[in-house]
Chains A and B, each alone.
Chain A
Amino acid sequence: MPKQDAKLLQGTLDMLILKALSLAPLHGFGVGQRIMQMSANALRVEEGSLYPALYRIEQQGWITSEWGVSDNNQRAKFYRLTRAGRKQLRVEEENWERLAAAVFKVMQTS
């Protein structure tokens, strides 16, 4: 039986996180929710991948974090995109478009 859930392509998670954060700062849970929402519930990011990815991206310097208060008045850690992160997102978007177009072409040929 083919899998229903779309598997995340290796390396695309970082791009999705950057994209999710490009609109507004979010906490970790929010990032997961936003990705789900943007993909119309097709992409569910496992917590086990999400947090390590966030920490990795933070170390790259593409996002920064600070403690703030969530909409339900709880202390939460918010991530925001840095300038480097924005640049990185543009690069990854371009790469992705190229890749997606290429993959699409491959799949079209019969």
Chain B
Amino acid sequence: MYWLRLMRSRLRGLLRKNSVEREMEEELRFHVRMRARENVRLGMTSDEAESAALRSFGQWARIKENCRDVKGGGLMETLLQDVKFGARTLSKRPGFALVAVLTLAVGIGANTAIFSVVNAVLLGPLPYPDPERLVMVLETDMARGTADVGASMPDYREWEGRNQSFDRIAAYATYNYNISGVEEPERVVGAAVATDFFLLLGVNPEQGRGFVEEEGLYGKHRAAVLSNALWQRRFGDGARLEGQTIRLNGETFAIVGVMPRGFSFPDTDVALWTPLALPDNDSLSKRGNYWLNVVARLKPGVTIEHAEADLGNIHRQLEQENITFGFSARVESLAAATVGDFRAPLWVLLGAVGCVLLIACVNIANLLLARGSARAAEIAVRAALGASRGRLVRQMLTESLMIGVLGAVGGLLLAWWGVDVLVRLEPDLPRLDSARVDGRVLAFTAGLAVVTSLLFGLVPALRSASTDISGAVKSGGKGGTRNHRLLGGLVVAEIAIALVLLAGAGLMINSLLRLQRVDPGFRTDNILTMQLALPEARYPDDQLEKAVGFYRQLIERVKGLPGVQSAGVTSALPLTDSGWGKLLTREDRPAPKAMEEIPVTQYRQVSADYFDTLGIRPVDGRYLNEHDGPGGLPVAVINETAARRFWPDEDPIGKVFKLGPPEEIIPAGILPPNYRFIRWTVVGVVKDVRHGGLGRAVSPEIYTLPEQSLANDGPARTMFLAVRTANDPTALTGAIRREVQELDKEQPVANIATMEERRAESLLQVRFNTLLLALFAAVALGLAVIGIYGVMSYSVAERTREIGIRVALGAQRNDVLGLVVKRGMALVFGGALIGLGGAVALTRLMVSLLYEVSATDPLTLAAVAGVLAVAALVACWIPARRATKVDPMVALRYE
């Protein structure tokens, strides 16, 4: 009831403000008349009585103000009043308002844009029901300390059968599928998945069904679920699902379902899913092949730690039962697994834009403070007329808030555009495409508007509201010297923050420059590469020499094309995330007793002309060549790292090794009877190649010819073709494609790119982060310089008289210059010192983003401090020069 009445009365106060005010006025006037009459009755003259009555009534204005607070709907009404008044003051100084709003818009815009990305990539929930229960299970090779190898099929089966933590658990592996039987063969990424896969994720096909259990049996597995995009592309909208088939890797699969748009697990480019099914004798179903990814859904209430302990117990049981040794499993939330690598750079960027916004706030606070002293007289008069301190602060905060809101609106517009640019710049961030200005982002921006308004408005507001009234009125509104220390402090803060940002950007730029100078170990110019995956159906395990033949013919044909200088194939091309790990055992040393002691190496199958094509230079010995045929001595070329690691202080040429453990320590039943690893002889050493990326450490690498490995793994079906050309390599794409079709008209090519493109793409992420950070640092520097300039100009204007006296007393131009610049640079120096401290403390957080640059690299820090000092000097110099032009006569008369 009370609230209702209060609301009504306040509303009345608000709506009929004038009549309420009039009534109040009349009532108070009546009171004064009555008081006067009383005074007359007590014996005063009527004039005396009147003035005594007024006197006794005290401060009219304050009483009315107090009454208004109670009556007139206080907050609401004063807010409206304040807003009106604020709008008037702001529009009286449009320059100030514009600068403040624009500064803030840039700050808030940058923050909103980056936050939209953080929101989409890091904070947004995964698009599955109960996403917090989804986890990845990673097998860990404890002995070698290599975490997160894939899971082996038998171990996955053990987890599936024995665990007590998961509702469902599903293995999957991504594959490349050749789609044929159509005019344009196509190669797409797909996933072979356990039949529970879709049920586990909780997403149902939009049409048709997911997989049923018996489709997980080899032979019944020829069923496919298509992504919405592939279905639309191949069959068009409105096509009926029944009876549709698709040729995958030379076999016909029934299409049983189509997933809804936007479903793209495990990768953004996955186009189809097939059941994970292997023939019984397949080597991939044996223990020792660690290749499966495993996703699982925790039972409600089970934590990641529980699940990990559960799996640990399973592995202990397996050891007790003598089944497998030295492995365990790690459980990671799916959300973390998806965005793991992107977390650090995004937080760094968000921190950086936060700093930009802070500087923007400091600048606006500077402006407000400077203006506050200009307004001191106005405020003093209002205080004298009875405005309470709280009322004045509220009024000025309202003005700040108006700047804040306008800035936020401008910022939102900027962010809208900025998100668009970001999305287009950086296609590699998972879920980036869902970045947009949504409710959460809006709330963030609104919060920023309020927080920043308080940040830049509170100190100036408190400062001016506490102005000593009589002093201010007397000095005619010239600000007190108290402001100088505060303004100076703000400049110091601003310089410090800008320096931290500059340091971060400097380190990133330094890293990027180093990365770009890294010798990749191969040529990148005029090399066209593409990937071919020969289907198992037509190149089965027992006829792999057909694959060798295919590639040999292809190389010959491509070499015959005009403009081609050289061509070769490799099972793993640098900068493509491809690889093949193997154990390496030296023949001339005692055999290791346990698996854990055997080192790991990377293994590639290449054609003899691959080295020459990619320009991988020889260091020692010879390349592989045509004479090393299937029947000849098995020979291998190794890289420098392999030479150093496996044959330290020895000549590796002529040494013999095998790619596997000693046969005798492999438990029975894993290898076929009488299996023997090939004994390879080292014939050459080549330069290291930055295979995993320009900034990555080099792994040991072993190269052999595919036709010599028939006795073990056999030649690879999936190969990259690399072609070195005389001119623009992309011009040859069509011709090479035609050669492939002529050899096998069902064989698609995929992943076509020049090496130069792959190199650029490998730097994309770093370049993106560097670009943004540098941009933010530049904005920060610009704002800081404007801030110093503003404060120094203000201080020169304030000291005009003092400077005039100095000049009159004989100070030279240089003295005046020095006076101003010295004060400015003292602030800059102080700020830079604090900033350096901050940089040393904060850049440590970005170690994971740096390449061969220490987070406290003294050269970088010195360089950015230098840049800042020069910029600041210019910002001080201009007002200082103006000070030298002060005419003493004018200055002394001024006032």
Closest chain-B Cβ to A9's Cβ sits at a distance in Å of: 20
- Shortest distance in angstroms between B413's beta carbon and chain A's nearest beta carbon? 43
A28 with B70: CB separation less than 8 A: no
From B9, B23, B26, B58, A48 is in contact (CB under 8 Å) with B58
- Interface stretch among B59-67, B534-542, B816-824? B59-67
B28 touches A74 (CB 8 A): no
Q: List A contacts of B31 (CB < 8 A).
A: 28-29, 47, 51
Which residues of B have CB within 8 Å of A74? Answer: 30, 33
Q: Is A39 an interface residue (CB 8 A)?
A: no
Assess whether B66 is in contact with A52, with CB atoms less than 8 Å apart. Answer: yes
Chain B residue at minimal CB-CB distance from A84: B1
List which B66-98 residues lie within 8 A (CB) of chain A. 66-67, 69-71
Q: Are A29 and B35 in contact (CB under 8 A)?
A: yes
Cβ–Cβ contact A55 & B70, under 8 A = yes
Taking A59-B9, A74-B33, A77-B23 as contacts, is the C-beta distance between A52 and B58 under 8 angstroms? no
Given known contacts A47-B31, A74-B30, A61 and B58 CB-to-CB distance under 8 angstroms? no
In the assembled complex, A76 has its CB within 8 A of some CB on chain B = yes
Q: A87 an interface residue at 8 Å Cβ cutoff?
A: no
- A5 an interface residue at 8 Å Cβ cutoff? no
- When C-beta atoms are compared, the residue in chain A nearest to B65 turns out to be A52
Interface pair A55/B67, CB less than 8 Å apart: yes
- Is the pair A56, B70 in contact by a Cβ cutoff of 8 Å? yes
Please, how many angstroms separate the alpha-carbon atoms of A51 and B30 in the complex? 12
A12 at the interface (CB under 8 A from B): no
- Whether, in the assembled complex, B45 has its beta carbon less than 8 Å from a beta carbon of chain A, the answer is no
**Is there an interface contact between A59 and B30, defined as CB atoms closer than 8 Å?**
no
The CA of A1 and the CA of B34, in the complex, are separated in Å by: 32
> Is A60 a contact partner of B2 (Cβ separation < 8 A)?
yes
Chain A's closest residue to B53 (CB) is A47
Q: Can you list, as one digit per residue, whether each of B12-35 has a CB less than 8 Å from chain A (1) or not (0)?
A: 000000000001101110110111
User: Within 8 Å CB of B70, what residues of A?
Assistant: 52, 55-56, 59
Cβ–Cβ contact B5 & A61, under 8 A: yes
Say yes or no: B35 contacts A46, CB within 8 Å. no
Distance in angstroms between the alpha carbons of A51 and B28 in the assembled complex: 8
Across-interface contacts of A60 in B (CB, < 8 A): 2
Q: Which residue of B lies closest to A44 (CB)?
A: B56
| Bound complex: CA A51 to CA B67 (Å) | 7
For the complex, give the distance between the alpha carbons of A72 and B184 in Å.
106
Instruction: Please encode chain A, from 39 to 82, with 1 for each CB lying within 8 Å of some chain B CB and 0 for all others.
Output: 00000001110011001101111000000001010111100000
Which chain B residues border A19 with CB–CB below 8 Å? none
Judged by a CB distance under 8 angstroms, whether A27 is at the interface is yes
CB-CB under 8 A from B37, the residues of chain A are 72
Say yes or no for B218: interface residue by CB 8 A criterion.
Answer: no
Bound Cα distance from A70 to B6, whole angstroms? 28
Q: Is the interface of B mostly helix, strand, loop or mixed?
A: helix
Minimum distance in angstroms from B140 CB to a CB of chain A: 70
Contact check, B71 vs A55: say whether CB atoms are below 8 A apart: yes
Q: How many A-B residue pairs have CB under 8 A?
A: 63
Q: Which residues of A contact B62 (CB under 8 A)?
A: 48
Q: CB distance B63 to A48 under 8 Å?
A: yes
Contact between chains at B59 and A75 (CB < 8 Å): no
- Within 8 Å CB of B66, what residues of A? 48, 51-52
User: Can you name the residue of chain B whose Cβ is closest to the Cβ of A46?
Assistant: B58
Q: Is B128 an interface residue (CB 8 A)?
A: no
Q: In this complex, what residue of B is CB-closest to A67? A: B23
Report the separation of the CA atoms of residues A72 and B26 in the bound assembly, to the nearest whole angstrom.
Answer: 16
Q: Measured between alpha carbons, how far is A52 from B63 in the docked complex, in Å?
A: 8
Check A75–B30 contact: CB distance below 8 A: yes
CA of A58 to CA of B37, assembled, Å: 27
| Contact yes or no, A29 B71, CB < 8 A | no
Please determine whether A47 and B71 come into contact, CB atoms closer than 8 angstroms.
no
Contacts of B23 in A (CB 8 A): 77
B57 within 8 A of A: yes
Taking a contact as CB atoms under 8 Å apart, the answer to whether A76 and B5 are in contact is no
Which B residues are CB-close (under 8 A) to A55?
A: 67, 70-71
How far, in whole Å, are A72 and B34 apart by their CA atoms in the complex?
9
A47-B63, A48-B62, A61-B1 given; A75·B71 CB < 8 A: no
C-alpha spacing A13/B26, complex, angstroms: 23
Give the contacts of B26-58 with A (CB-CB under 8 A): 26-28, 30-31, 33-35, 37-38, 56-58
Contact of B58 among A47, A72, A75 (CB under 8 A): A47
Contact B63 A61 (CB under 8 A): no
Query: Which residues of B lie under 8 Å from residue A76 when comparing CB positions?
Result: 27, 30
Give CA–CA (A52, B59) in the complex, Å.
14
Bound complex: CA of A58 vs CA of B23, how far in Å? Answer: 15
How far does the Cβ of B838 sit from chain A's closest Cβ, in whole Å?
Answer: 49
Max chain B C-beta neighbours (<10 A), residue from A27, A48, A56, A61 = A48
A51 and B1 contact, Cβ closer than 8 Å, known pairs A29-B30, A77-B23? no
CB distance from B250 to the nearest CB of A (A): 86
Which of A27, A59, A61 has the largest count of B CB atoms less than 10 A from its CB? A59
Would you call A59 and B71 a contact (CB within 8 A)?
A: yes
Find the B residue at minimum CB distance from A47.
B57
Query: Nearest A residue to B27 by beta-carbon distance?
Result: A77
Q: Return A81 CB to nearest CB of chain B, in Å.
A: 16
- Is B67 within 8 A of A29, CB to CB? no
**A residues near B1, Cβ cutoff 8 Å:** 61
With the chains together, A82 CA to B59 CA distance in Å?
A: 31
Shortest beta-carbon distance from B75 to chain A in Å = 14
For the complex, what is the distance from the CA of A27 to the CA of B26, rounded to whole Å?
A: 12
Q: Which residue of A lies closest to B71 (CB)?
A: A55
Which residues from chain B contact A33 at a C-beta distance below 8 Å? 38
Are B63 and A77 neighbours in the complex by a CB distance under 8 Å? Answer: no
Q: A residues within 8 A CB of B28?
A: 47, 51
Q: 1/0 per residue A78-107: CB within 8 Å of B?
A: 000000000000000000000000000000
B30: nearest residue on chain A (CB-CB)?
Answer: A76
A90 to chain B, nearest CB (A): 18
**Which of A29, A60, A75 has the most B CB atoms < 10 Å from its CB?**
A29
| Nearest CB of B to A37, in Å | 12
A56 to B71, CA, bound (A): 7
With the chains together, A47 CA to B59 CA distance in Å?
10
Instruction: State A56–B6 Cα separation when bound (angstroms).
Output: 10
Closest 9 CB pairs of A and B: A29-B34, A55-B71, A55-B70, A52-B66, A48-B63, A77-B27, A52-B70, A29-B31, A56-B70
13 contacts between A and B (CB under 8 A): A28-B27, A29-B31, A46-B58, A47-B58, A48-B62, A52-B70, A55-B70, A55-B71, A59-B9, A59-B71, A70-B30, A74-B33, A75-B30
Query: Which B residues have a C-beta under 8 Å from some C-beta of A?
Result: 1-2, 5-6, 9, 23-24, 26-28, 30-31, 33-35, 37-38, 56-59, 62-63, 66-67, 69-71
Given contacts A48-B58, A48-B59, 18 further A-B contacts (CB under 8 A): A28-B30, A29-B30, A29-B31, A51-B31, A51-B67, A52-B66, A52-B69, A52-B71, A55-B71, A58-B9, A59-B9, A59-B70, A60-B2, A61-B2, A61-B5, A70-B34, A74-B30, A77-B23
